[in-house]
Structure formats: structure tokens, C-alpha cells
């Protein structure tokens, strides 16, 4: 049986997320190498308008996001979608700080809006798509008063 269009689109989107996570991990690692050594291995990655602490958190969140998604996907860790939503929220918060406090390029507000839109779309995909629910398993909400873990 040939998969439907939505199944193929979902599969393609999941591959794009894996590619994006790989790029984020690599970008974060290269950013940290440059941050700590000053050596720009491929091209300069540091943003001179960011204070050092902000730049460190920037690389930490980018590398962690890539690593968590790749490891969670490989291990089929059921909390990967939740962990990614937390990381997306942290990335969006940092992006807001960078955009409104430090960046000077004219496209910064549009870039910020697009980045936040991507985080929302990826979060929705992670928790609502059949493919991701099949891969990671269902996330169940436990009503108040019931034990969260059952053995």
C-alpha cells in the first residue's frame, strides 16, 4: 500500500527535524570551540553585539537542543517532545533578549518572529503528529491526586 501524501509530508518533516538537530549540535559545538579558543574553524560564529554570558548561553542552548533531540529520537525517549518544548521556550526567550537588547540588523524582528513560529510548529508536530506519537509513545496527563508513576 502506498503511503498517503500526509504520511510522506510527515516523514519528510521528521527528517528535516533530524537534519536541523544535527546542524544545531554541530553549530553549537563549533560555536563553543570558537568561544573558548578563538579559533573559527569554518567561519566566525560569535556575535560581537552579545555579551560573553549571553553568547555562552546561546551556544549551550543550541548544542543542547540538537543533542537532546538526536539522543531522544535514537533512544525513543518518551519525554523528548516535552524536553524539546522546554528547550524551544528557552531558545525563544534568549532570542527575544538578543533581538530586543543587542541586535542591530534591520531584519531582526522578522527573524525573531520566524524563529518563534518554527518553534511553535515543531512543538505542535512533536506532540500531535501520528508519526511522533508512534515513535516516542503517548504522553499521558495524570489527574491530580493520582500517582505519576505506576509500576
pLDDT tens for each residue of the chain, 151 residues long: 457 898 999 999 999 999 999 999 999 999 999 999 999 998 999 999 999 999 999 999 999 999 999 999 999 999 999 999 999 999 999 999 999 999 999 999 999 999 999 999 999 999 999 999 999 998 777 778 877 665 5
Residue 145 lies in a domain: no
Say if residues 96 and 61 touch (Cβ distance below 8 Å): no
Q: How far is CA 35 from CA 23, 39, 68, in A?
A: 18, 8, 21
> Rounded to whole angstroms, how far apart are CA atoms 14 and 21?
11
Domain boundaries, position 46: 11-136
Residue 2 lies in a domain: no
| Count of the separate structural domains present in the chain | 1
Residue 150 lies in a domain: no
The cell numbers describing 84, all together, are 524539546
Residues belonging to the chain: 151
> Rounded to whole angstroms, how far apart are CA atoms 23 and 66?
7
Residue 131 lies in a domain: yes
Residue 151 lies in a domain: no
Amino acid at each position: 500500500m502506498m503511503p498517503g501524501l500526509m504520511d510522506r509530508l510527515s516523514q519528510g518533516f521528521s527528517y528535516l527535524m533530524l537534519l536541523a538537530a544535527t546542524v544545531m549540535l554541530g553549530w553549537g559545538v563549533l560555536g563553543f570551540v570558537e568561544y573558548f579558543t578563538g579559533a573559527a574553524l569554518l567561519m566566525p560564529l560569535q556575535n560581537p553585539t552579545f555579551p560573553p554570558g549571553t553568547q555562552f548561553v546561546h551556544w549551550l542552548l543550541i548544542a543542547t537542543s540538537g543533542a537532546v533531540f538526536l539522543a531522544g529520537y535514537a533512544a525513543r525517549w518518551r519525554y523528548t517532545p516535552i524536553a524539546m518544548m522546554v528547550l524551544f521556550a528557552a531558545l525563544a526567550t534568549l532570542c527575544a533578549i538578543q533581538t530586543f537588547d543587542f541586535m542591530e540588523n534591520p531584519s531582526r524582528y522578522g527573524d525573531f518572529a520566524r524563529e518563534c513560529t518554527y518553534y511553535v510548529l515543531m512543538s505542535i508536530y512533536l506532540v500531535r503528529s501520528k508519526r511522533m506519537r508512534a515513535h516516542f509513545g503517548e504522553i499521558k496527563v495524570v489527574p491530580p491526586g493520582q500517582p505519576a508513576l505506576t509500576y
